[in-house]
Structure 1
Amino acid sequence: MHIFTNRIRQFIESVLMLSLLAMVLLTFADVIGRLFFNIPIYGAHDLTEHLMAVIVFSGLPLLTSARGHLAVDLFDRFIMTGAMRWWRYLTNGLICVILLLVSYQFFIAAMDAIEIQEVSQALLIPRSYMYALISFSCFVSACASVLPKQVSQDVHPEETL
């Protein structure tokens, strides 16, 4: 199972890197085209918008599985004790429920986008695919939020939940 999750993580990381590279190259070419040739790349805004969604929502499951979300450590001395383990489980459960709710809402949005054939402004890219990606990403993140923390090489085992 560990090998399977590592392969999935590596695949998602590759998708993230390629998406970021594509967005940087597209933005660079668009700026150069505007500045020197007064010819912007048609649809660059649409492509950048979709690539940004891919980057953010593909990274969400990785961030959730590593417990990398923003956290305030003001009460960690109290909360990280064994007696407060129930609080950490409750928090992870709440995160799971919220992510499932977001996933459900974007699933509905994807179905609506298919029904009304919603597309992007310039390139007419169907929006339903992005909504489905967001829904799937939030669902996977919800599952990852209730699993044990993924231990990486730079994290000590005593720091895991």
Structure 2
Amino acid sequence: MLRQIEKAIRFVAAVLLFLLMMLTFIDVIGRNFFNRPLNGAAELTELSLGAIVFLMLPLIAIRQSHIVVDLFDFVPSRIFKAAQAITGIVVGVFFFGMMAWRLWHLGDSTARYNDLTPTLKLPIAPLVYGMAVFAAITAVCILAIGVRHLWRPSARRPAERDVDAANLASGGTNG
């Protein structure tokens, strides 16, 4: 089931990215060769980029392909590593939860004032609500993945597995 959801999200994001590419291409050709830019291209670009970014956030969290900076990798203590993992989970869930909450309130505000894009008069609220939902889904994904990794320490981040594979291939040790 999760794989089908992931495929659907990736498909929608790919379609949006393709449409964004075509939109930009048509706008540039119209602007440079015919002196007639595509009406509302900037608005559609903004809406598409917002949708693409927030669509992909849960997948990035599930795959754990986000940027990770390990500042305290030299500390060998298991307790410290567990505390570091818990801190990362709490911070991630907090920030994405706050983002979802604030975006939902922004969606309420834009819906109440019936905010529309200036040129095409498209409603903004559905996009903002969608962004809030995907931020909340990301928070839940971070929590679920984090809890799974805390209870099953052998399930490490892909980056950690890559480091082990690189060390093994080079004859080094991971310590």
Normalized against structure 2, the TM-score is what? 0.79
**1:82 equivalent in structure 2:** 78
Unaligned runs of 5+ in 2: 147-153, 159-175
**1:159 equivalent in structure 2:** 156
Instruction: Provide the secondary structure at the position in 2 that maps to 1:109.
Output: helix
Structure 1 residue 78 displacement after superposition:
2.5
1:118-133 mapped onto 2 (5 Å cutoff): 118-133=115-130
Q: Distance in 2 between matches of 1:8 and 1:82?
A: 35
| C-alpha distance 131-15 of structure 1, shift in aligned 2 (>3 A) | same
**1:35 equivalent in structure 2:** 32
Q: Which has the larger radius of gyration?
A: 2
Which deviations, in whole Å up to 9, do the C-alpha atoms of 1:94-121 show, x marking residues without a partner?
Answer: 2101111110001001111111001111
**1:114 equivalent in structure 2:** 111
Q: Distance in 1 between matches of 2:133 and 2:16?
A: 18
Q: Distance in 1 between matches of 2:2 and 2:155?
A: 21
Choose from 103, 113, 118 the match for 2:100.
103
- The one-letter amino acid of 1:111's match is D
Q: Distance in 2 between matches of 1:6 and 1:143?
A: 17
Structure 1 residue 143 displacement after superposition:
0.2
Instruction: Provide the secondary structure at the position in 2 that maps to 1:138.
Output: helix
Whether the aligned pair in 1 keeps the contact of 2:16 and 2:48 (CA below 8 Å) is yes
Identity %: 24
**1:25 equivalent in structure 2:** 22
| C-alpha distance 44-94 of structure 1, shift in aligned 2 (>3 A) | same
Whether the aligned pair in 1 keeps the contact of 2:20 and 2:48 (CA below 8 Å) is yes
Q: Distance in 2 between matches of 1:55 and 1:160?
A: 24
Unaligned runs of 5+ in 1: 150-156
**1:48 equivalent in structure 2:** 45
Structure 1 residue 61 displacement after superposition:
0.8
